[in-house]
Structure 1
Amino acid sequence: MPVRPSHTEPVPLTTLVARADGRLIPDSGGTETAVTGATLRAHQVRPGDLYAALPGAHAHGADFAAEAIAAGAAAILTDQDGADRETVRDCDLPVVLHDDPRAVLGDMAAWIYGEPSLQLSVLGITGTSGKTTSVYLVESGLRAAGLRTGLIGTVETRVAGERLTSAFTTPEAPDLQALFGVMLEHGVTHVPMEVSSHALSLGRVRGTRFTVGAFTNLSQDHLDFHRDMEEYFDAKAILFDGRATTEIVVVDSAWGQALVRPHTITVGVDPATGAAWTAELRATSSTGAQSVVLYGPAGQRISTTLNLPGEFNVTNALLAAAVLDSVGVAQEHIATGLAEAQVPGRMERVDEGQDFTAVVDYAHKPAAVALSLDALRAQTPGRVITVLGCGGDRDVTKRPMMGESAVRRSDVLIVTDDNPRSEDAAAIRSAMLTGARMVGPSQGGEVVEIGDRREAIGHAVAIASPGDVVFVAGKGHESGQEVGGVVHPFSDREELAAALRRRIEGHE
């Protein structure tokens, strides 16, 4: 169950209705009703809740109103379709009618929980790649400054150091507002969070006031949800509609440049952009650690070491530095935080004492795969051996692109499964192989197909030689493999570590 504050002051339903520009259906009562919580899931209703019965792709929340009523819901928020359904029409609860209940749910939840984001520094980061890494870098800098932090993202949610599992990159609106309330109760002051395009499109961050809104980049992803790249960009741009006090944008691409306004703080490693925040790479070690100097618009000069390879991570660090500086974190704490940051499943090294490099990463988009492989290639004296798959029930157009992008940068590409979900895994691999085999032998590496992901990882480890790198991409921090609607326990990090141990033990 999502966490809730230990205490919420009851809010009159009539106040919520008036502020949301909704209306109580005649004769549904509600003039004396008070609300103490909110949810859009009937099975998570608690006594005193506003139950949001929203239209969905496959069902309407109104169809589950009886369950919500039995659990103690105080009122129902819905649209006309929901209000006309028997379960709502004949119920004894007050019914709040709104033409677009999803659009107002975030605001209503914020009012119910006392508008907690107004009492926090919420630092929102959006973009295709780099959100997770940037959020962890920011949080590390905040902790280095002695601040009490929360964190909301793909890998986990943390409240003052206590870890919660994340179901979504950005929680649903009522859960998010309740979570902010819990953070306040635990003395949290700053909350770096990932903000997904789904969350922005579906109103999950309505009711949230951002101290900072930041943008990393945009590349092809989620085109199973958005019609095209322009719609995908428009969703990301919602974070920059005035809901953030400070806006910080990476301008190394045209997408970022399109977000710039007179007050925008710009970030870029490309000198041609003339960005306010820039970086200079001083040295790269054999482990991929990078010594960098970051420069800000007010004469800031931050020397630090990043334990993350690749120019894209220099950009992530630069963005994090700009965010931290904007909320008053001192330069020495920024430097310490960036140097100490650890990001689960993002260019994460797995070391069991082997004589080659082994890395797990969440890269599951063509551009992200290319950037990660380019970074590893630059520091690898031997071969690059890549294990990669594509998820089922997601954007099908990127599968050949993934195969092509990976094979061009690998000496050996092992095409395998990665959460086939309801689709035929062999068909997904076939689409990837089509893209990989379009690249001639002179421009790409050897291609191997091994559907079983555990076996594929084992094969990559078995063929590696001293100086090589084994790169297992796509799942990163994830702990399951979804096949046919069933999630089986599976961790790339654990499987890679086990394969490395087997190899070492076999050699002894």
Structure 2
Amino acid sequence: MKLKEILQGIDYKVVRGSEDLEIGKIQYDSRAVKDGDLFVCIEGYATDGHKYIDNAYKSGAAAIIIGKDVEDIPDCTVIRVKDSRKALALAGANFYDHPADKLKIIGVTGTNGKTTSTFMMKSILEAAGYKVGIVGTIANYIGSKKLHTERTTPESLELQKLFKDMVDDGVQYCVMEVSSHSLYLDRVYGVKFSQAIFTNLTQDHLDFHKTFENYYNAKLILFKNAVNSVINLDDEYGERVYNDTTENKITYAIDKNSDVKASEIHMHSRGVDFNITYGSEKEHINLNIPGKYNVMNALGSAGACLKEGISLSLVKKGLEAMIAVPGRCEIVTKDYNLGYEVIVDYAHTPDGLENILKTAREFTKGRLISVFGCGGDRDNKKRPIMGRIGSELSDLAVITSDNPRTEEPMAIIKEITEGIKKDNYIIVENRREAIKKAMEMAEKDDVIVVAGKGHEDYQILKDKTIHFDEREIIGEIVEALKERS
């Protein structure tokens, strides 16, 4: 494709060379540059692409886009733009022939509930006969085809390529998790969303955003780029989002008056059933995932699909077809006759941990045992808060390691325990041993919640990343305990 075609819609100035040249691929990582490529310098969280201009030039870059003035201009075409991140997003859309315009895109943002909501909407839309793609934390999906993902929302260039692959495969709807990072870093810049869902807002990612206000404002960007907004009024920030949003709006809630509402909620260990009303219509839903917060996720998902013209009866069909979401309140011991249950959940924020423990308490006949830690190199302010929540809502808390990254695991654990006021906890630093200890202590009718990693099948240590799938580990511990008995 000609460089001038890639630059369409971008405010730019030619510093050197000509726009009338052929480009092979677009790259923002200098290590991936090949002869004839366009290299876009973007400023990342950890480094700045402008530092690698010389590397890109030596690797054969035919053109380079810069977002700020640089001293040494290489002997190739150089384009100056005001914002290279926005330029990358628009260039990617041009290069892949604007695939987002050929999809109906539904975005979900919020601290918790994004992943479950995307799976719920995929099930509803498929019940209505559509082919659906997912962009999210667990994996990306093109129909039933599962693709590995490195982050919740890909960089804009990869996102546009993913949209193109979806279009080429006949996908009609893309439902995607839209992280606050991706909004702030313009990964979805230029993408028009058919629906934007707000789930909730609680403390998270303050290591990146620095203040809660910055975090909120990053989330709000999604609703400025959506045709319709679907807003949770039961969340304390929902009303603020509602007031800050000018486009078409639909609300959902359990406690407050709203457009989509749940009532007569009955929770049990393997799910929850409730009535859902929308205008004069009503359906009874038997959801195969437990938890009041999953009723909220179902309401938001229903609201977006209803705004897409899908009937409430098809919403019911799609929600009831869902069996489980990997690592989201996932009961991993249903095939074993242990007398107690072990649940794996991705809860890694104070609100997430509180939700899963309150949900588990609803159907726990014996003791509730929690196993959790906190990630390293992340917001450390939430550590004592999670310690307090885990201790107060459990009969026994096993404090352990999560993904310690470059931090010392015991230093993280010490910060967690600073928030604990009760003496109902033990420390087992090794996560596998912590899970094993909880299972050894479990008695009939107990429930163990292993929180923090959910769908992840790895653990990030200081010097390496190891395979660590809690479903496999729990299965191995079950077999080992059987042999011992």
**Alignment TM-score, normalising by the size of structure 1:** 0.91
Over 3 Å counting, the alpha-carbon distance change for 1:57 and 1:205 in structure 2 is: closer
Note if contact 2:54-2:74 (Cα within 8 Å) is conserved in structure 1: no
What is the aligned counterpart of 2:239 among 257, 261, 280?
A: 257
What is the aligned counterpart of 1:44 among 10, 32, 45?
A: 32
Q: Is residue 2:4 matched to residue 1:14?
A: yes
Q: Distance in 2 between matches of 1:331 and 1:58?
A: 46
Over 3 Å counting, the alpha-carbon distance change for 1:48 and 1:451 in structure 2 is: same
Deviation of the 1:405 alpha carbon? 0.5
Over 3 Å counting, the alpha-carbon distance change for 1:451 and 1:55 in structure 2 is: same
AA partner of residue 351 (structure 2): A
AA partner of residue 277 (structure 2): Y
Q: Is residue 2:386 matched to residue 1:402?
A: yes
Q: Is residue 2:253 matched to residue 1:268?
A: yes
Q: Distance in 1 between matches of 2:441 and 2:422?
A: 22
Q: Distance in 2 between matches of 1:361 and 1:305?
A: 21
What is the aligned counterpart of 1:503 among 478, 481, 484?
A: 481
What is the Cα-based RMSD across aligned positions, in Å? 1.7
Deviation of the 1:495 alpha carbon? 1.3
Deviation of the 1:14 alpha carbon? 2.7
Q: Distance in 1 between matches of 2:462 and 2:26?
A: 33
Q: Which secondary structure does the structure 2 equivalent of 1:503 belong to? A: helix
Q: Is residue 2:228 matched to residue 1:246?
A: yes
Q: Distance in 2 between matches of 1:160 and 1:399?
A: 38
Q: Is residue 2:278 matched to residue 1:288?
A: no
1:192-207 matches, cutoff 5 A: 192-207=175-190
* Paired residues, number: 479
Q: Distance in 1 between matches of 2:115 and 2:238?
A: 18
Q: Is residue 2:100 matched to residue 1:125?
A: no
Note if contact 1:141-1:334 (Cα within 8 Å) is conserved in structure 2: yes
Note if contact 2:271-2:287 (Cα within 8 Å) is conserved in structure 1: yes
Deviation of the 1:333 alpha carbon? 2.5
Tell me what 2:67 maps to. 79
Q: Is residue 2:46 matched to residue 1:61?
A: no
Over 3 Å counting, the alpha-carbon distance change for 1:363 and 1:126 in structure 2 is: same
Which shifted more, 103-112 or 149-158?
103-112
Q: Deviations over 1:91-140 (max 9, x none)?
A: 32x11111321133212211221111111011100000000110111111
Q: Deviations over 1:419-447 (max 9, x none)?
A: 110011111000111111xx245xxxx11
Q: Which runs of 5+ in 1 are unaligned?
A: 1-9
Q: Deviations over 1:140-186 (max 9, x none)?
A: 11122221111010000011211111101000011101110111011
Q: Deviations over 1:251-283 (max 9, x none)?
A: 11231111114621111111xx32111001343
Tell me what 1:110 maps to. 93
Q: Distance in 2 between matches of 1:389 and 1:40?
A: 35
AA partner of residue 326 (structure 2): P
> Runs in 1 of length 4+ with deviation above 6 angstroms?
none
Deviation of the 1:66 alpha carbon? 4.6
Q: Deviations over 1:193-217 (max 9, x none)?
A: 0000000000000121111111100
Q: Which secondary structure does the structure 2 equivalent of 1:496 belong to? A: helix
Over 3 Å counting, the alpha-carbon distance change for 1:427 and 1:78 in structure 2 is: same
1:149-188 matches, cutoff 5 A: 149-188=132-171
What is the aligned counterpart of 1:431 among 385, 408, 415?
A: 415
Q: Distance in 2 between matches of 1:99 and 1:22?
A: 7
Tell me what 1:6 maps to. none
Q: Which secondary structure does the structure 1 equivalent of 2:209 belong to? A: coil
Deviation of the 1:505 alpha carbon? 3.4
Deviation of the 1:67 alpha carbon? 4.5
Q: Which secondary structure does the structure 2 equivalent of 1:224 belong to? A: helix
Note if contact 1:109-1:207 (Cα within 8 Å) is conserved in structure 2: no
Instruction: State percent identity of aligned pairs.
Output: 35
Note if contact 2:391-2:422 (Cα within 8 Å) is conserved in structure 1: no
What is the aligned counterpart of 2:447 among 464, 469, 478?
A: 469
